[in-house]
Structure 1
Amino acid sequence: MLSGYEIPNDPSLPHLSTALDEMEMANRFQKLLFIAEPHSKNAARVRHWVKRCQIERVKYKAGQKCLVNYLLQIQDVQTRQICQQRLSTRLFPEGESRLRFQKAQSEPLVMPPFGQAVMHLPELEMVIWSFPNDRKIGSVNSLMTLPPNQVALVKQAICDRLNAQIVNIERPELVHYVPEHTCTVRLQMTLQPLRQAAGQTRSITLFGKAYYNDEGAESWRLMQMLWESPVCQQGQLHIAQPIAYAPNERILWQMGLTGRTLLSFALDSAEFTHLLINAARSVAHLHATQLPCKRTSQLVDWLETLSHMQILLANVRPDLNERVAILVEQLVHRANELDGAPSATLHGDLHLQNLFVERAGQLVPNDVTSGDPVPTERIALIDLDNLSTGSPWRDLGSLFAGLYYRALVDDVEATYVANLMDRFCAEYAQYTPWPLDRPAIDWYTATALLGERVYRSLTRIKRARPAMVDELVARAEKLDIRQILTEAIQ
């Protein structure tokens, strides 16, 4: 069972608690894949055993469905070797899974190492897709196997963009998988510069990302424009270089960066503070860059997330209903005072995992012919799939809500986070043409605590201490009070 969090009691999904019990599901998958249960009379004849079942990701929608992604460790009892197999599953309300299973069987499928491409556990109303099969992403297998058309695309792009030819390509390595949304692989390769003597080679890393829809095409368009913009070419903003896009397969290729995310640094360290201030400059430069984004961030959409959170909270934590309703009412009322925000190019998913720290010795200047010295460290903005136009305070609110969430996880005082926010804002303000609006930033932070952090904790059934949701709500309440006090002083 997932520990450290209350599992929703949802009458429409009565088997949810079973699906979230890792030991129980290991036994069920053992029987499903290898037709034998532990301690049964057939157990001695079974060659493979599910040694471990780990839940990697949960996405829960109250009263409708739940997506659970499992990672299985499977051991060959003869060779003792252990391999992995991923299963993405959906739980449906009573009586709905059979038709869903039949529909899934009609789609193009790839046979996995064990079991079938699509399977059904009717007693749990669960439909199962064996990786690389996915309910929505049709090109996962192409991403993992690199068919000739993908190799040709990458080779031509490397020639055109890096003036080099590929000498060797290693097998793609899965690095991130969000069922029904995206799948990302790492691709190591060796290059040789064109018109150079044989033997002069270098190694690079590409990342390939498969999408379930055409959002990758928009990301590709905007990343190219951003990469070629003065702010990137002059070294004020750093992103991964876009390399190629395959529209039929919906696969985006980009250069890899070497380093680690800001999330990996201790929140209360001096190093983290220094890097966060550097990040403020990067975010400011992005915001001040005018990109023709098709996506827009509207205040009404932001308010809608609060409504969705309230509906889910009523099902999972009804004890918080009245308290949160009062807070949401106050936030909605104050939304009328947020008109007149500047228009900025937003990251759209700004949190510590999307702030990437590159170190000296790992850096490659955007313009290798400039002759400018390479900095000792820099912050790159990654995962640019949600670039949009809207209020810059929305990005800052998301980032600061993430800081408060991290502080709760790491037992860091909220006052420490408030100081980080102040220092970030002070640096940010030096690189944008508009003045700071702290009440608006506090408003977006409070709404992000509810609409993003609380909502995700509930929908993803995150592993956290039981009081986490209560603490996030309390922090949002304090930010709303701070707005009232600020307005009173003004």
Structure 2
Amino acid sequence: MPTPGPVNESAPHADPAMDPAEILTSRLEQLRNRDYMKTVLQRALDDLSPRTVEVRDFEITYCKVKPWRDVSLALSVDSHYGHSGDSCRQFVSGSMWASLDDARTHWREEVASAADGFEGDQGHDARARASAVFVPELATVLRLFPADSVLTGLGPATDLASMTALLSESLPECRDEGWRMRDLEVEPVHYKPARLCTLRYSLTLDHPTGGESRRVHLFGKVYRDNRWEQSYETLATTSNAAAASGGAWHAARPIAVVPEWRFLVQSAVPGERFRQALADLTVDDARPDQLRQVAGHLEAVARAVRSMQRAPVAQGPRLDFAALFAAQQRNLDYLGGVHDGTARELERLRREIERVAAATPASDLVLSHGDFAHGNVMLHGNEVGIIDFDRMGQAEPAYDVAYFLTHLTSFTLRHPRRAAHMRPLCDHFRAAYLELAPEVSPRRLALYEALDLSAYVLRNFRKQSHQARWLKWASGQIESAWERLDHAARVGRDS
């Protein structure tokens, strides 16, 4: 198996005495060198791609750091085909190791495993054997999607013939009413190598009598283990709960499941993501009618999350304050090995959060989405959809609301000129929800906001700390958490 070129002698080589976290941090710095990374990707695709391509640009779409072990990467690569000049987009996954020996060992294991699958297949293109390439100067293994040694279901889940057969049997319109499907397309929309991949399927359905056609969108998920079983059960439960909400919120329904692939297919919740609507309507010079529209959307989201919390569903883990607080300790330890100053400030903040929590009465636990970010809320006219319940559990009602507000705060930090719009809108959302949930005190909500703002820094550290602007963003999150704690103190004095 050829490597993507000789070792770059100008690249930093790890000192064996260095801490593994420091080694990975130095390797992550190389990802910021766009010209260097384009060269690396070009060499890799020369071996991996079945057609000759010329790399033009790339985007890191996923980066998960395990500071004492490895970094998992997903990259979207924009290229041109060498002969035709047509543009194309390819997806590359990578595993970056602290140790060069570890990286080489894993590469050899992947290549051997892939070669076993081609034994006796003399007619197969030799390029298929290049399932992974080794980049020694980064101690990294790169693969071309859908090759993934853990998510083995990606192969059949992205095969158009296999998926056409599955969907023709599983879609109610095809199975029960005789509609015929055609023009199936598939693309990855969220890829976490060796962990989870979400795929979007687009297809056309033709009525059996002719004259009527419609375009349909579906989503599929390939899992690394048997979590598909819990996800399928969760889909069924939440779709039933949404159907019983009287239109307050909508959710996806299960369509098909293939245990051998660790794979399930679900319907698409219509509309656009809340975060996109927010970006479009809160421009620097937003008109009053645009801001009123956002306020109306926020009121609808408040009604939706309140209705969801009232659903009689007792599934999922216990996500009380103690569990949520303890869950980030390991990430805090990771952060301390890379950004000691930020970690110490978070430790001080968390001590104060813990003190305020002890003095603030808790609410009973209810159904919780567990990941109620503005990207998991859909807007379709006046209707609200909620997607991705994979982290569903039982939590205080303030948790999901605070989680949503954390993402609004993060949006404001990334777009500081919009703060004049966003701060009143956040206050409007808080007031709209608290009016619907009188058992939730403003102080408890502010406490949960501080908790989740601090937790978001720790969650985000392992995904985004390779970005140069991360430290500034993290400081803003921590400052916002202190502001919410100050608000909790003021509310406590007033009451």
Which TM-score applies when normalising by structure 2? 0.82
The Cα of 1:131 is off from its aligned counterpart by: 0.8
Return closer, same or farther for 1:465/1:412 CA change in 2, 3 Å cut-off: farther
Matched, 1:411 2:422: no
Matched, 1:333 2:346: no
Matched, 1:482 2:494: no
Q: Secondary structure at the match of 1:80?
A: coil
CA distance in 1, matches of 2:486, 2:181: 59
In structure 1, what residue type is equivalent to 2:220? G
CA distance in 1, matches of 2:271, 2:316: 31
2:335, 2:461 within 8 Å by CA — same for their partners in 1? no
Q: Secondary structure at the match of 1:154?
A: helix
Deviations 1:53-80 (A, max 9, x none): 3322222232322122222333333322
Partner of 1:355: 377
What is the count of residue pairs matched by the alignment? 452
Matched, 1:456 2:446: no
Moved more, 330-339 or 409-418: 409-418
Deviations 1:270-322 (A, max 9, x none): 22221111011111111110223133324333113442343233233323344
Unaligned runs of 5+ in 1: 1-7, 36-45, 360-376
CA distance in 1, matches of 2:54, 2:249: 50
Partner of 2:432: 427
Deviations 1:225-260 (A, max 9, x none): 232347546322211232222222122212223321
- 1:68 maps to which of 53, 73, 95: 73
1:316, 1:458 within 8 Å by CA — same for their partners in 2? no
- 1:127 maps to which of 138, 141, 146: 141
The Cα of 1:465 is off from its aligned counterpart by: 6.5
Unaligned runs of 5+ in 2: 1-18, 119-124, 283-290
Partner of 1:443: 447
Partner of 2:60: 55
Moved more, 290-299 or 228-237: 228-237
Aligned counterparts, 1:140-219, within 5 A: 140-148=154-162, 150-159=163-172, 163-176=176-189, 177-191=191-205, 197-219=209-231
Deviations 1:341-362 (A, max 9, x none): 2221111111111111113xxx
Return closer, same or farther for 1:90/1:391 CA change in 2, 3 Å cut-off: same
Partner of 1:85: 90
In structure 2, what residue type is equivalent to 1:352? H
Q: Secondary structure at the match of 1:180?
A: coil
Matched, 1:388 2:406: no
The Cα of 1:30 is off from its aligned counterpart by: 2.7
CA distance in 2, matches of 1:205, 1:309: 37
2:184, 2:203 within 8 Å by CA — same for their partners in 1? no
Higher helix share: 2
CA distance in 1, matches of 2:218, 2:225: 21
Return closer, same or farther for 1:198/1:172 CA change in 2, 3 Å cut-off: closer
The Cα of 1:459 is off from its aligned counterpart by: 3.4
In structure 1, what residue type is equivalent to 2:268? G
Partner of 1:11: 22
Identity of aligned residues (%): 17
Aligned counterparts, 1:361-400, within 5 A: 377-400=382-405
- 2:152 maps to which of 138, 153, 156: 138
The Cα of 1:117 is off from its aligned counterpart by: 1.0
In structure 2, what residue type is equivalent to 1:282? A
Return closer, same or farther for 1:131/1:443 CA change in 2, 3 Å cut-off: same
1:169, 1:187 within 8 Å by CA — same for their partners in 2? no
The Cα of 1:52 is off from its aligned counterpart by: 2.7
Runs of 4+ in 1 over 6 A off after TM superposition: 109-115
Return closer, same or farther for 1:245/1:331 CA change in 2, 3 Å cut-off: same
Deviations 1:95-150 (A, max 9, x none): 311222233234457989788212212332112222101243221121211454x4
Moved more, 392-401 or 320-329: 320-329
1:206, 1:253 within 8 Å by CA — same for their partners in 2? yes
In structure 2, what residue type is equivalent to 1:169? R
Return closer, same or farther for 1:257/1:93 CA change in 2, 3 Å cut-off: same
1:232, 1:238 within 8 Å by CA — same for their partners in 2? no
CA distance in 2, matches of 1:239, 1:117: 37
